[in-house]
């Protein structure tokens, strides 16, 4: 810095003007008397130092300040900041005759076409583009920070004459733009705010980026959530199309969207092949829409094949038991075993795929993905307490599914006092354990959760599903259900029976540890075959088997099963990994070293070790943090057998902190310009005169730096040092 002037400035008051002469005069008289008592050169120097210290301290009462004056820079600049963040892609700048361009294009036109011409005093325009890219360390999603570029200019340049800011005013960072504006005012730098974009959203229908599942099971449906936003002046009836770009197959559904609102919905797609499939989700354009480029989204879903191993346990071969067994037996991807206790007979039922006994070893039982538990209790011709405990551990620790299907014998009441009682998602009425029989049939009625569940989907068209459930034949018996437990999901209720807690819940599900539990409070689903054969009955129980075993099968490996929660994480989320490991004999591993290699979208791989989870069957857990969007891959393996591995690949969605299509935030720009004493360019005339406005800006003035000496710590330190020297000198002179 080239300092051309430095001088002292005093600020005396009436008090200091009277006090300082008295202090200085008194000090001079006392120092003179002290010198006369002990004359000598050393004493004279010592008293002179005393007088200097006292006089200097007295002068501080005049509040002296050191003023440094710096000349203005010979090369003044005007930074032109252009916003290049995501919101600037919004197409809402009308060019007339139906032509609409983006805010980004408008900003480029302004800078290229308006801010030209020679500026006085050698002032130069300095174009600077700033975007919403966040800190590279966090890899967090894009946003817009209007404070950062202004702060950077204030810290790095001392020759700024003014700042031109071309933006839509979108700001979603934690910083405060008005604080930066206040700092500009203190430095005498005006802000010329040039807004782009409309304060009102143009008529448009926009499809937000859907949340894409990482994979799906071949033959089953996947649910694809999405959001549609409307800025149309009127309500709109939309057509949502989901199309395979590989096969050309299309599915269409309707959606009614209110004006000025956004609505979340979902589309269903049936996976028909293994491997990737390219899909397109699109919203039909409507008349008057300003931008049709945001009406579709392309993505890819991977299909995976599955094999399910099911065990059906009951006491009597009732109709529901028979039809469930037959339905699962005809499914080529399901291997079904049955165990029929048959009370009153010496031996369990026999036949193809029948078991003669309950799987006693952990190794045998752990191979089943889903268990159907019928009218079975504890004790004679039922389960033992140990077997109930094994089933509970299978669900909680090995991610299997358990389905309770009680019957009119009421044997499942005995399970309430066993370890399985904790897994029952409903409270049963113990006063009449055999349930209720009716003379007239009653249907199941879907709850709002049931209408959205893939478990209850009996049609490929969601709009027809509720009608199908209403048309299904009813049941003549239902279990003695009192109410649902807290935290469960009720999918269907009795059509008329109710109590103090409301309609009786008859189709209820809940997670249990790493697995799932389903309660079916009637045994008459086989009646759904009337007139349609297996159409609905087979589909329902097939979906139940796949849904209950989804987590196990999607993560199945030779010795490992691996799954992650959440399945579709977002940047900033912590992903929890659970690996279920088996030894070479297929039994749950008790002592082993399980490792996981985690590969991010940038190709870098890190390794973590999964730790054994307490009170589990060979389960190991660990976690890692998602720090950037893109595709992540986790490969888990046993240290003693690296070839036995299991991998998960899942896409990580980007959290959108700012959205396209929203109105421009002009009020913030007006306030920022006002705080700095600048100009808000709010009309085409002002925009045309912008070069002239820049030429009329006042020239840079000299910069003043004021250093107050009366409260400066260095001055205080100097006095302490002088007093120390004075004290030591007095002691050496023998004056103390």
Average pLDDT over residues 529-548: 84
pLDDT band at residue 480 under the 50/70/90 scheme: very high
pLDDT value at residue 736: 54
Report the range of poorest mean pLDDT among 237-251, 629-643, 697-711.
Answer: 697-711
pLDDT band at residue 137 under the 50/70/90 scheme: very low
Q: How far apart are CA 151 and CA 140, in angstroms?
A: 21
Reply yes or no on whether the pLDDT at 117 is more than 60.
no
| Distance (Å) of CA 251 to CA 275, 421, 465, 668 | 20, 43, 15, 44
pLDDT band at residue 426 under the 50/70/90 scheme: very high
Instruction: Give tens-digit pLDDT for 677-710.
Output: 888 988 777 777 777 777 777 766 666 778 888 8
pLDDT value at residue 519: 95
Reply yes or no on whether the pLDDT at 573 is more than 90.
no
**Tokens of residue 492, six digits:** 């269907």
pLDDT value at residue 136: 37
Instruction: Give tens-digit pLDDT for 54-77.
Output: 888 888 888 888 887 766 666 788
Report the range of poorest mean pLDDT among 477-491, 608-622, 693-707.
Answer: 693-707
Three-state secondary-structure class, residue 57: helix
Give the number of other Cβ atoms within 10 Å of residue 631's Cβ.
12
pLDDT band at residue 653 under the 50/70/90 scheme: low
Average pLDDT over residues 232-248: 87
pLDDT band at residue 106 under the 50/70/90 scheme: confident
Residues 6+ apart with CB under 8 A from 52: 722
β 221-230/65-70 pair status: unpaired
Between the two ends of the chain, the Cα-to-Cα distance in Å is 49
Reply yes or no on whether the pLDDT at 4 is more than 70.
no
Read out DSSP for 531-595?
A: TTTTTTHHHHHHHHHHHHTHHHHHTB-SSEEEEEESSS--TTPEEEEEEEEB-TTSSBPSS--EE
Query: CA 733, 734, 736: angle at the middle one, nearest 5?
Result: 120
Q: Are 520 and 545 in contact (CB under 8 A)?
A: no
β 489-499/502-512 pair status: antiparallel
Reply yes or no on whether the pLDDT at 12 is more than 90.
no
pLDDT band at residue 301 under the 50/70/90 scheme: confident
Instruction: Give tens-digit pLDDT for 29-52.
Output: 888 888 888 777 778 888 888 888
Q: Are 684 and 180 in contact (CB under 8 A)?
A: no
Continuous segment of H or E residues that includes residue 151: helix 147-156
Reply yes or no on whether the pLDDT at 138 is more than 70.
no
Reply yes or no on whether the pLDDT at 732 is more than 60.
yes
- 10 Å CB burial of residue 317 (0-12, 13-18, 19+) is middle
pLDDT band at residue 142 under the 50/70/90 scheme: low
Instruction: Give tens-digit pLDDT for 187-225.
Output: 888 998 889 888 877 778 888 767 777 667 777 778 788
Report the range of poorest mean pLDDT among 116-125, 373-382, 432-441.
Answer: 116-125
pLDDT value at residue 518: 94
Q: Are 675 and 182 in contact (CB under 8 A)?
A: yes
**Tokens of residue 107, six digits:** 């900003």
The rounded percent of the chain whose pLDDT value lies above 70 is 89
pLDDT band at residue 447 under the 50/70/90 scheme: very high
Mean pLDDT of the chain: 82
pLDDT value at residue 351: 64
pLDDT band at residue 1 under the 50/70/90 scheme: very low
pLDDT band at residue 233 under the 50/70/90 scheme: confident
Name which residue leads in pLDDT, 568 or 412: 412
Average pLDDT over residues 435-446: 90
**Tokens of residue 621, six digits:** 């857990």
Instruction: Give tens-digit pLDDT for 160-195.
Output: 888 889 888 888 777 888 898 898 888 888 998 889
- Closest by CA position to 323, among listed 84, 544, 125: 544
pLDDT band at residue 657 under the 50/70/90 scheme: low
pLDDT band at residue 350 under the 50/70/90 scheme: low
Burial 653-677 (b: 16+ CB within 10 A, else e): bbeebbbbbbbbbbebbebbbbbbe
661 Cα distance to chain centroid: 21
Q: How far apart are CA 436 and CA 413, in angstroms?
A: 14
**What structural domains does the chain harbor?**
5-71+705-732 (no CATH), 77-201+661-701 (3.40.50.410), 205-303 (2.60.40.10), 308-553 (3.40.50.880), 557-652 (2.60.40.1930)
pLDDT band at residue 558 under the 50/70/90 scheme: low
Q: Are 490 and 507 in contact (CB under 8 A)?
A: yes
pLDDT band at residue 735 under the 50/70/90 scheme: low
Average pLDDT over residues 298-322: 85
Give the number of other Cβ atoms within 10 Å of residue 360's Cβ.
12
Q: In DSSP terms, which residues pair with 300 in a beta bridge? A: 278
pLDDT value at residue 135: 42
Model pTM score: 0.61
Name which residue leads in pLDDT, 477 or 84: 477
Instruction: Give tens-digit pLDDT for 624-635.
Output: 988 887 788 888
Q: How far apart are CA 78 and CA 270, in angstroms?
A: 58
Instruction: Give tens-digit pLDDT for 489-522.
Output: 999 999 888 888 899 999 999 998 888 999 999 9
378 Cα distance to chain centroid: 45
Three-state secondary-structure class, residue 465: helix
Q: Where are the alpha helices (DSSP H) in 360-421?
A: 362-365, 385-398
């Amino acid at each position: 810095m080239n300092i051309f002037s430095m001088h002292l400035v005093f600020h005396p008051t009436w008090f200091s003007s009277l006090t300082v002469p008295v202090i200085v005069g008194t000090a001079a008289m006392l120092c003179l008397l002290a010198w006369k008592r002990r004359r000598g050169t050393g004493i004279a120097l010592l008293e002179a130092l005393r007088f200097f210290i006292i006089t200097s301290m007295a002068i501080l009462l005049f509040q002296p300040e050191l003023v440094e004056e710096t000349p203005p820079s010979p090369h003044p600049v005007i930074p032109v900041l252009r916003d290049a963040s995501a919101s600037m892609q919004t197409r809402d700048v009308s060019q007339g005759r139906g032509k609409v361009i983006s805010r980004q294009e408008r900003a480029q036109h302004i800078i290229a076409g308006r801010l030209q011409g020679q500026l006085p005093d050698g002032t130069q325009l300095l174009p600077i583009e700033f975007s919403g890219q966040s800190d590279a360390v966090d890899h967090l999603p894009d946003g817009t920070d209007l404070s950062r570029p202004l702060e950077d200019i204030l810290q790095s340049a001392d020759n700024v004459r003014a700042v031109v800011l071309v933006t839509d005013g979108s700001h979603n960072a934690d910083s405060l733009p008005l604080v930066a504006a206040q700092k500009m005012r203190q430095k005498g730098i005006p802000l010329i705010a040039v807004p782009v974009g409309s304060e009102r959203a143009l008529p448009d229908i926009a499809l937000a980026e859907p949340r894409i599942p990482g994979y799906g099971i071949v033959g089953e449906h996947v649910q694809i959530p999405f959001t549609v936003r409307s800025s149309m002046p009127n309500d709109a009836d939309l057509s949502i199309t989901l199309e395979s770009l590989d096969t050309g197959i299309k599915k269409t559904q309707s959606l009614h969207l209110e004006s000025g609102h956004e609505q979340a919905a979902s589309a269903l797609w049936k996976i028909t092949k293994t491997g990737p499939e390219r899909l397109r989700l699109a919203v039909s354009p409507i008349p008057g829409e300003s931008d049709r480029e945001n009406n579709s989204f392309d993505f890819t879903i991977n299909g995976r094949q599955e094999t399910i191993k099911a065990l059906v346990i009951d006491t009597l071969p009732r109709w529901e038991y028979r039809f469930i067994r037959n339905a699962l037996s005809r499914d080529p991807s399901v291997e079904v075993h049955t165990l029929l206790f048959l009370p009153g007979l010496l031996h369990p039922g026999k036949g193809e795929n029948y078991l003669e006994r309950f799987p006693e070893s952990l190794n045998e039982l752990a191979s089943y993905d889903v268990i159907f538990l019928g009218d079975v209790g504890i004790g004679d011709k039922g389960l033992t307490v140990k077997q109930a405990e094994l089933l509970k551990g299978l669900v909680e620790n090995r991610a299997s599914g358990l389905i309770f299907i009680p019957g009119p014998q009421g044997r499942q009441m005995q399970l309430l006092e066993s370890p399985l009682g904790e897994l029952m998602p409903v409270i049963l009425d113990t006063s009449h354990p055999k349930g209720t029989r009716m003379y007239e049939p009653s249907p199941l009625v879907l709850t709002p959760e049931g209408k959205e569940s893939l478990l209850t989907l009996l049609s490929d068209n969601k709009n027809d599903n509720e009608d199908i459930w209403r048309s299904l034949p009813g049941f003549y018996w239902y279990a003695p259900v009192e109410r649902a437990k807290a935290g469960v999901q009720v999918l269907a209720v009795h059509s008329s029976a109710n109590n103090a807690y409301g309609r009786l819940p008859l189709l209820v599900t809940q997670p249990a540890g790493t697995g799932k539990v389903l309660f079916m409070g009637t045994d008459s689903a086989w009646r759904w075959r009337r007139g349609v054969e297996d159409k609905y009955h087979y589909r329902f129980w097939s979906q139940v088997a796949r849904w209950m075993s989804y987590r196990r099968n999607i993560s199945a490996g030779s010795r490992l099963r691996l799954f992650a929660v959440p399945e579709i994480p977002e940047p900033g989320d912590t992903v929890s990994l659970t690996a279920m490991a088996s030894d070479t004999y297929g039994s749950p591993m008790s002592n082993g070293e399980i490792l996981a290699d985690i590969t991010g979208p940038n190709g870098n791989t890190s390794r973590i070790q999964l730790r054994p989870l307490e009170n589990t069957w060979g389960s190991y857990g660990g976690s890692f943090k998602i720090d950037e969007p893109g595709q992540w891959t986790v490969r888990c393996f046993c240290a003693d057998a690296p070839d036995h591995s299991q991998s998960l690949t899942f896409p990580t969605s980007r959290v959108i902190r700012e959205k396209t299509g929203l109105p421009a935030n002009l009020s913030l720009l007006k306030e920022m310009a006002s705080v700095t004493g600048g100009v808000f360019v709010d009309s085409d005339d002002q925009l045309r005169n912008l070069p002239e406005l820049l030429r009329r800006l006042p020239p840079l003035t000299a910069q003043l730096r004021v250093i107050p000496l009366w409260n400066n710590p260095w001055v205080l330190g100097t006095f302490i040092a002088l007093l120390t020297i004075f004290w030591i000198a007095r002691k050496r002179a023998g004056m103390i």
